[in-house]
Homo-oligomer: A and B are copies of this chain.
């Protein structure tokens, strides 16, 4: 449903590009790192999402005629506009695989391209990866507490406009089972679900007739919303009547849905009434301002809820609303580059790099990733990035390189996996992470270290800038 043009960017990318163009830097090779500084939701990990879709968009990214007209009105010059007319991204991208678990301060993805192309895609890249990673991470937290319950995304109506479309995709990567969002289901091949709103019941003079009409018209996947008037006195008794009538027709009521009140109490009472009526196969679905904490509490109270519909808190990534991902220059014009800052933790890492995940002999993460120069094949000792005397010997561990080529010369290298495959991969990677990193309260901190060579290179550059 989207038509991205290369003007899906910040104006300063074009302003800088104009200068690079005028000053003969247009063929300067640049390397940018994408990473984030802070885990969302005070959690112990994030789920990387948005990559495969982003690569497809980047491959097709062009300036349209109306873009060039607009830019001309903004004062951009003819020769530069002609260059933009022929613009396409022809660079290389190496990245962590979509669905993998990722951690702060180390590269998740690296772009290598001429500096103009690398700058023009920056905003689009940040916009997509920041958001989908945020939502996949939120979904993953909800999946962790929900166990085997079914999880459905109900968020579109309160989503941040069309951001909801991408949220539905990311939710699946994080472990959701389906969505109410029809256009996202159509485009991403996501299982879609939805039955009735309160307005449906209200539009009838009585609830029983509304349930009957619905069950007759849509006997497959029939879910009845039972809280419009009075859940236990009217909604459940009417649902039981209709379920019995369906049985006579050889059909089965799939579920009832609760959307208000004390969900734990109403789920238990509803379950009891359904079971007493011999309807133990009818499931209970619940919605209404759910998030990972509410679901955890409901399940701790042993509320017999089989399906959770999660809306606003999922698709907006509440309470965080944004992942703080950044895109920092680490190489250009044949030289390693660094961003100095008053705050040592904000100093960036120069050079093209590789990241290794450190694992024990059972393939379980020990809780550390090591960042090295691109040509290093292993890291024997990893150093704390800022505390000079802290280090960890890694000689005995397996080391899995995480950055893989995903785009070369502007061409996507691998076929898109289905969302199902990405979600399955994510689940597998999450299973390799010890439980201490998954708890909600003060999760164990995943270590990020740097190799000795990278540390030397970085410190050399810091000294250089301190002395000038």
Contacts and interface: CB of A to CB of B under 8 A. Distances in A.
Given A22-B217, A159-B160, A12 B195 contact: yes
A431 to B, nearest CB: 28
A319 interface: yes
A156 interface: yes
- Report the contact-size class of chain A (Cβ under 8 Å from the partner): 35 or more
Interface in A213-245: 213-214, 216-218, 220, 228-229
A119 B195 CA distance: 13
Interface of A: 1-5, 7-16, 18-19, 22-23, 25, 28, 30, 32, 66-67, 70-71, 74-75, 115, 119, 122-123, 126-128, 130-132, 154, 156-167, 180-183, 185-186, 192-200, 202-203, 205-206, 213-214, 216-218, 220, 228-229, 260-261, 312, 316-319, 321-325, 327-329, 332-333, 335, 337-342, 465, 468
A160 B131 contact: yes
A157 B12 CA distance: 12
Given A11-B182, A12-B194, A214-B19, A199 B329 contact: yes
Given A217-B18, A228-B339, A3 B5 contact: no
14 contacts: A1-B2, A8-B183, A11-B182, A11-B193, A12-B194, A18-B218, A67-B183, A127-B161, A131-B160, A160-B161, A160-B316, A160-B317, A163-B164, A317-B321
Given A14-B194, A213-B23, A130 B154 contact: no
Contacts of A319: 319, 321
Nearest to A183: B7
A55 to B, nearest CB: 15
A320 to B, nearest CB: 9
B67 A186 contact: yes
Nearest to A19: B217
B338 A202 contact: yes
Contacts of A229: 340, 465
Contacts of A312: 321-322, 324
Contacts of A214: 16, 19
A11 B192 contact: yes
Given A195-B15, A203-B30, A342-B261, A158 B1 contact: no
Contacts of A323: 158
Contacts of A195: 12, 15
A41 to B, nearest CB: 13
